[in-house]
């Protein structure tokens, strides 16, 4: 096969130079305009529904809201899981669809389902809010703000108004959320004795005040030929004026509000708090918009905050935590490793060729393969992230150019001038170079179409890797021969001494050809040993990271008040601060995402006052003396063991937690079995904390109406509930009267005073509206103390209990295997089932997706080789290299203690394409020697071994050197990148060594098979 593009390029260097100048400029311009992210934005068809019914208990919300919505959602197509968390007055439902469901269609289907069922939901339920889940929706940076001039309320308004308005003007900022602080509120605290004396109810006062204190449109009139609008303005500006408002009672009497209540302009009851290293502060978190880059957003935010500091010198803004540093570190280290890997590969080439001109020709291939790829990435909407930068494998991109240059040098040693040597060498090696490139593309592209969540990551990986490899082919077939023809010089001596190892290698190859059965048998044993080794390797979805951030979550007992949570969080902070690697602690109570998973139900429940999240900034990795973050977290758990009566979870979740979920229709059976499972889980060796979602009971005040007396007095259960709700927590937010100020509205909250709300006798005497006037509550109902669940968790329309097991450095697969072997999990009671969720489920999908991608890749490689070699049998020889790479890949993981994970699977995919290179080079030259040089099979095989061993060894070492910085983790967090490089280097070593010995034997067997199938006829590889 004569590929004349190389010859044309040699004779026409100017168009080739201009082409690569244009490609380089396009790539550089694209690189300058690309966004930098940690991981690519994923379009996952996951939708959340938030339904709020203030004042309702979890059991009531489950029965009247959650179940009805779930039943409507279950009728939609493509639903994978429906996960529900029910708390006080709230139902948060997460609907996870199959990945083939378009995101917008999923959102529309959910909205339609909610609309259909809305009439069946309670009338006073707030309209459910439907949102799509975006992984960009987690905070990337958080700040704590303090001031010497403003109090907590003023500082909070400063954040809500000035800070939020300034930061939302920064390109890429999606939202700004305040944590802690205080909100201004006009509080109307009713006197229960006066209410009872006047025969008024709390609901009456709140309703009358709302109807009086408002501004409304009054129509339209025309005077003097001009049209004028009519406005009814019945608003006041101060709390004193509100207290002076006259209200009409139901019996026709009127009272002044100040006669039955004390009115004050104050702050709302605190339900959240923020602290930075123990000092009270107001926090705010910044979320980037989808498609924006973390580094770009962080730079804009910091510049905007610098401007705020300059305009408000009394305000101190301190960074509480950020997830920007790890992105910046990953990005800069990826680029540095790309450069360092390229330099090492170039040094290897120079060590073999000992010619700076030839080394320059090979070295140019690397930047000219990478840079144009950036233009392709930008055109496809990709970003610079850990996945796309990982796909720019140095060794693979310089491989084709090395093979070309080495072959041209060999032809120069034959006495040819550089021009002729470049033409002949490029024609001779063309088929092998094209075959190796297209086999790599055939491996990489199927990964872009994988299923599952892992497939969403690999869309950018597959296209980027395939594009970079294609550009390396363009360089190798056009630029490299042209540069070699014009830059290389004919050597002074035409004899090149063979390397010292060549004679020994040829002796080994000859022995293998004479003992073919023993050679193939040994290779089969090694392959079986590699498969056996893979079976005992630990497995996980994504390796736990080793950055400088971690999180501690404290869950207080049910019924705990904010001040108790604050006190316990401070005790925890003091204990954590004693650790030598803890630099800073940011505490958020009753709010704050802490950079958690946006689909995490427990993180969503962090708005509870009994939950505190402590975000810890650790010392940078180089200052830890080799201590990983997981070891630090283990020591932090020991420090917190002294805290009594609190559930503690250390770690940011995600890939560091295994979740076991048990579900069933019978909630009581689940509750009975959960303690046994939890007790046995704690017996698993090596794991961290075990946290159960089995809801603890919280104290409740249960009101039971006396139906006979209530009916006699004309009192309904609804009026009892409304009276108690308004008297204790106030009316619904949208129904509250408002104090209209110039820039904002301040809510006016009507309810009992704090002392009255805590007095059972006072609550009993509350007036309730009846048919013949208000009556005391105790006349129509009994009030007694009881208990109820804090939270009800549901999965796929059934009650469920989940157990979060912190891996503490162990592999997810090992922990899952140990958990499933426990008697209480293995032998579940009737009606209770185990469900795989989270990383365990994703890991199973990833294994299936990778298996299909590998099979597709092998099939694509075979078809490409059939087309290029014009035969069906000899491509089987080349595919044997895949088998030979297995032992080294798994042995390298075993020796380094790495687990089978997503990045190691990436390495296996890469290895599939790279491993075929060696056998392609050998088989290609055997065919040339037999067809063009007229050699016999044995002589052709040995001649190919002699002439192709050097480029095979050279490209292998160059590729390994290019991967070495990644494998060793010289820069940045190696957790994600290192397993990939370890697999590739280990597989390359065994594949190269075994290919040089086994592939000649396999070729001879395949050739024998061809002769047996076609007796009396010349094979395709025999000389004519």
CATH of the domain at 401: 1.20.1640.10
Nearest to 937 by CA among 512, 523, 521, 513: 513
Tens digit of each residue's pLDDT (9 = 90 or more) over 762-778 = 888 888 888 877 888 88
Predicted pLDDT of residue 545: 79
Q: Does residue 749 fall inside a structural domain?
A: yes
Classified as helix, coil or strand, 492 is coil
Nearest-angstrom CA–CA distance, 940 and 945? 9
Coil/strand/helix, residue 107: helix
Place of tokens 């309209």: 127
What is the Cα–Cα distance from 78 to 109, expressed in whole angstroms? 10
Residues in Cβ contact with 683 at an 8 Å cutoff, skipping those fewer than 6 apart: 822
701 touches 766 (CB < 8 A):
no
88 domain-assigned: yes
What pLDDT, on the 0 to 100 scale, is given for residue 497?
67
State the CATH number of the domain containing residue 191: 3.30.2090.10
DSSP 8-state code for residue 126? P
Q: How many domains does the chain have?
A: 5
Supply the pLDDT for residue 606.
43
**Kind and range of the H or E run holding 564:** helix 562-577
How many Å apart are CA 114 and CA 121, to the nearest integer?
A: 10
C-alpha dist (Å) from residue 48 to 100, 291, 636, 984: 18, 21, 34, 41
- Over residues 392-413, the mean pLDDT reads 77
Going by C-alpha positions, the residue among 357, 180, 363, 383 that lies closest to residue 285 is 180
At residue 796, what are phi and psi to the nearest 5 degrees? 55, 45
- What would the pLDDT profile of 858-894 be if each residue is shown by its tens digit? 888 888 888 777 778 878 888 888 888 888 888 988 8
The model carries a pTM of: 0.79
Residue 292, H or E segment: none
Dist CA 843 CA 811 (whole Å): 12
Q: Is 262 a member of any domain?
A: yes
Residues 523 and 472 in one domain: no
Split at pLDDT 50, 70, 90, the class of 136 is low
Q: What rounded mean pLDDT belongs to the chain?
A: 83
| Residue 907 shares a structural domain with residue 957 | yes
As beta bridge partners, residue 407 has none
Q: Specify the DSSP class assigned to residue 611.
A: E
Strands 184-190 and 745-752: parallel
Among the candidates 763, 789, 815, a domain finishes at: 789
Long-range CB pairs of 7-16 (<8 Å, 24+ gap) are 7/423, 7/426, 7/427, 7/481, 9/477, 9/478, 9/479, 9/481, 9/482, 10/419, 10/422, 10/423, 10/426, 10/481, 10/482, 10/485, 13/482, 13/486, 16/478, 16/479, 16/482
Q: Which run of H or E residues covers position 1009? A: helix 978-1013
* C-alpha dist (Å) from residue 882 to 369, 451, 766, 850, 887: 26, 23, 81, 15, 10
User: How far apart, in whole angstroms, are the C-alpha atoms of residue 638 and residue 644?
Assistant: 13
372 in a structural domain: yes
Q: What pLDDT band is residue 827 in, cutting at 50, 70 and 90?
A: confident
Whether pLDDT at 518 is above 80: yes
877 and 1010 fall within a common domain: yes
Q: 1008: which 2 tokens?
A: 């024998």
Neighbour count for residue 192 (Cβ, 10 Å): 21
Task: State whether 571 and 527 are in the same domain.
Answer: no
Is 881 in the same domain as 903? Answer: yes
Q: Is residue 883 located within the same domain as residue 999?
A: yes
Sequence-ordered list of residues with C-beta below 8 angstroms from that of 312, at least 6 positions apart, any chain: 147, 158, 162
Query: Is residue 684 one of the residues assigned to a domain?
Result: no
Query: CA 97, 101, 103, 104: dihedral to nearest 10 degrees?
Result: -120
The pLDDT tens digits for 999-1014 are: 899 888 888 888 887 7
Spatial CA neighbour of 450 closest among 45, 42, 852? 852
Instruction: Give the model's pLDDT for residue 596.
Output: 47
Under DSSP, is residue 994 helix (H, G, I), strand (E, B) or coil? Answer: helix
Q: Residue 798: in which H helix or E strand, if any? A: strand 798-806
* Burial of residue 742, with CB atoms counted within 10 A of its CB: 0-12 exposed, 13-18 middle, 19 or more buried: exposed
Q: CATH number for the domain including 113?
A: 3.30.70.1430
pLDDT of 193 higher than 50: yes
**Model confidence over 540-564: pLDDT tens digits?**
777 877 788 888 888 888 778 888 9
Q: Residue 960: how many CB atoms within 10 A of its CB?
A: 22
Q: Report angle CA 636, 642, 645 to the nearest 5 degrees.
A: 110
Per-residue pLDDT at 1021 exceeds 50: no
Question: Which carries the bigger pLDDT value, residue 1000 or residue 963?
Answer: 1000
In-domain check, residue 13 = no
Kindly state whether residues 977 and 948 are assigned to the same domain. Answer: yes
Which residues fall within 8 angstroms of residue 138, CB to CB, at 6 or more apart?
287, 323, 593, 595, 596, 597, 598
Beta-carbon contacts of 635 under 8 Å, excluding residues fewer than 6 positions away, are 579
Asked if residue 952 and residue 912 are part of one domain, the reply reads yes
- In-domain check, residue 615: yes
Give per-residue pLDDT as tens, 965-985: 878 877 677 788 888 888 988
> Could you tell me which residues come within 8 angstroms of residue 530 by beta carbon, excluding any fewer than 6 positions away?
886, 887, 888, 889, 890, 891
Give the range of the structural domain holding residue 53, as residue numbers without chain letter. 46-132
φ and ψ of 546, to 5 deg: -135, 50
Does residue 382 sit in the same domain as residue 481?
A: yes
Identify the H or E element spanning 990.
helix 978-1013
Task: Determine, yes or no, domain membership for 496.
Answer: no
Per the CB < 8 A criterion, the answer to whether 838 and 448 are in contact is: no
- Nearest Cα to 752, choosing from 260, 272, 271, 270? 260
């Amino acid at each position: 096969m004569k590929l004349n593009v190389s010859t044309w390029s040699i004779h026409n260097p100017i168009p080739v130079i201009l082409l690569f100048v244009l490609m380089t400029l396009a790539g550089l311009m694209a690189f300058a305009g690309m966004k930098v992210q940690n991981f690519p934005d994923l379009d996952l068809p996951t939708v959340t529904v938030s339904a709020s019914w203030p004042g309702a208990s979890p059991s009531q919300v489950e029965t009247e809201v959650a179940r009805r919505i779930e039943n409507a959602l279950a009728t939609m197509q493509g639903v994978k899981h429906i996960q529900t968390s029910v708390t006080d007055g709230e139902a948060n439902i997460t609907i996870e669809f199959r990945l083939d469901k378009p995101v917008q269609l999923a959102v529309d289907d959910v909205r339609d389902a909610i609309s259909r069922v809305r009439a069946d939901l309670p009338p006073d339920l707030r309209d459910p809010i439907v949102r799509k889940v975006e992984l960009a929706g987690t905070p990337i940076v958080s700040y704590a703000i303090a001031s010497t001039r403003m109090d907590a309320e003023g500082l909070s308004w400063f954040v809500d108004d000035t800070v939020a308005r300034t930061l939302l003007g920064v390109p890429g900022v999606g939202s700004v959320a305040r944590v802690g602080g205080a909100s201004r509120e006009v509080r109307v605290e009713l006197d229960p004795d006066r209410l009872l004396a006047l025969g008024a109810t709390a609901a009456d006062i709140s309703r009358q005040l709302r109807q009086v204190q408002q501004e409304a449109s009054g129509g339209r009139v025309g005077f003097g030929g001009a049209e004028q609008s009519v406005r009814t303005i019945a608003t006041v500006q101060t709390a004193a004026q509100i207290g002076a408002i006259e209200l009409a009672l139901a019996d026709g009497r009127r009272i002044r509000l100040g006669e039955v209540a004390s009115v004050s302009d104050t702050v709302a009851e605190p339900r959240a708090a923020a602290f930075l290293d123990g000092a009270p502060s107001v926090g705010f978190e910044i979320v980037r918009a989808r498609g924006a880059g973390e580094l770009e957003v962080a730079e804009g935010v910091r510049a905007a905050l610098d401007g705020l500091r300059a305009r408000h010198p009394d305000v101190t803004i301190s960074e509480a935590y950020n997830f920007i540093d790890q992105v910046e570190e990953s990005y800069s280290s990826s680029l540095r490793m790309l450069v360092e890997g390229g330099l090492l590969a170039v040094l290897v080439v120079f060590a073999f060729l000992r010619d700076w001109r030839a080394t320059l020709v090979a070295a140019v291939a690397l930047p000219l393969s990478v840079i144009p790829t950036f233009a392709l990435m930008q055109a496809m909407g990709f970003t610079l992230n850990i996945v796309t930068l990982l796909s720019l494998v140095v060794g693979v991109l310089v491989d084709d150019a090395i093979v070309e240059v080495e072959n041209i040098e060999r032809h120069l040693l034959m006495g040819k001038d550089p021009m002729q040597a470049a033409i002949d060498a490029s024609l001779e090696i063309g088929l092998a170079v094209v075959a190796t490139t297209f086999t790599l593309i055939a491996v990489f592209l199927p990964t872009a179409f994988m299923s599952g969540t892992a497939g969403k990551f690999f869309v950018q990986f597959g296209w980027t890797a395939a594009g970079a490899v294609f550009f390396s082919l363009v360089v190798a077939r056009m630029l490299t021969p042209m540069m070699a023809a014009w830059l290389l010089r004919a050597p002074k001596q035409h004899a090149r001494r063979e390397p010292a190892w060549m004679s020994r290698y040829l002796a080994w190859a000859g022995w293998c050809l004479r003992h073919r059965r023993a050679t193939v048998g040994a290779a089969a044993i090694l392959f079986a040993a590699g498969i056996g080794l893979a079976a005992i390797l630990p497995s996980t979805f994504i390796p736990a990271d080793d950055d400088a951030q971690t999180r501690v979550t404290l869950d207080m007992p049910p019924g705990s008040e904010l001040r108790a949570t604050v006190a316990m969080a401070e005790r925890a902070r003091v204990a954590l601060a004693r650790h030598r690697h803890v630099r800073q602690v940011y505490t958020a109570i009753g709010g704050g995402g802490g950079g958690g998973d946006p689909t995490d139900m427990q993180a969503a429940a962090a708005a509870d006052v009994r939950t505190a999240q402590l975000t810890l900034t650790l010392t940078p990795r180089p200052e830890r003396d080799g201590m990983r973050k997981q070891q630090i977290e283990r020591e932090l758990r020991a420090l917190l063991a002294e805290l009594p009566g609190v559930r503690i979870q250390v770690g940011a979740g995600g890939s560091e937690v295994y979740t076991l979920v048990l579900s069933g229709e019978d909630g009581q059976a689940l509750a009975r079995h959960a303690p046994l499972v939890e007790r046995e889980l704690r017996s698993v060796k090596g794991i961290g904390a075990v946290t159960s979602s089995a809801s603890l009971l919280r104290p409740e005040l249960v009101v039971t109406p006396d139906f006979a007396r209530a009916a006699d007095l004309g009192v309904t259960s609804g009026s009892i509930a409304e009276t108690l709700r308004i008297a204790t927590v106030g009316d619904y937010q949208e129904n509250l009267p408002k104090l209209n100020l110039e820039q904002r509205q301040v809510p006016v909250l009507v309810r009992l005073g704090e002392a009255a709300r805590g007095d059972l006798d006072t609550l009993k005497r509350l007036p309730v509206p009846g048919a013949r006037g208000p009556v005391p509550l105790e006349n129509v109902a009994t009030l007694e103390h009881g208990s109820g669940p804090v939270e009800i968790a549901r999965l796929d329309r059934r009650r469920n209990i989940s157990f979060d097991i912190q891996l503490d450095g162990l592999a997810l697969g090992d922990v899952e295997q140990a958990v499933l072997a426990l008697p209480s999990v293995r032998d579940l009671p009737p009606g209770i089932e185990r469900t795989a969720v989270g990383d365990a489920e994703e890991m199973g999908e990833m294994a299936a997706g990778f298996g299909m991608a590998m099979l597709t890749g092998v099939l694509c490689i075979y078809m490409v080789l059939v087309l290029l070699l014009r035969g069906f049998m000899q491509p089987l020889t080349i595919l044997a290299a895949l088998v030979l790479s297995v032992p080294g890949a798994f042995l390298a993981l075993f020796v380094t203690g790495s687990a089978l994970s997503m990045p190691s699977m990436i390495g296996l995919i890469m290895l599939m394409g790279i491993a075929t290179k060696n056998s392609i080079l050998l088989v290609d030259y055997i065919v040339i020697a037999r067809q063009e040089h007229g050699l016999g099979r044995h002589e052709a095989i040995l001649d190919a071994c002699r002439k192709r061993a050097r480029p095979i060894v050279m490209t292998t070492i160059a590729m390994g050197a290019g991967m070495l910085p990644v494998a060793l983790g010289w820069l940045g967090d190696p957790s994600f990148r290192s397993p990939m490089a370890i697999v590739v280097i280990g597989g390359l070593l065994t594949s190269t060594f075994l290919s040089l010995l086994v592939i000649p034997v396999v070729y001879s067997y395949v050739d024998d098979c061809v002769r047996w199938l076609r007796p009396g006829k010349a094979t395709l590889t025999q000389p004519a």
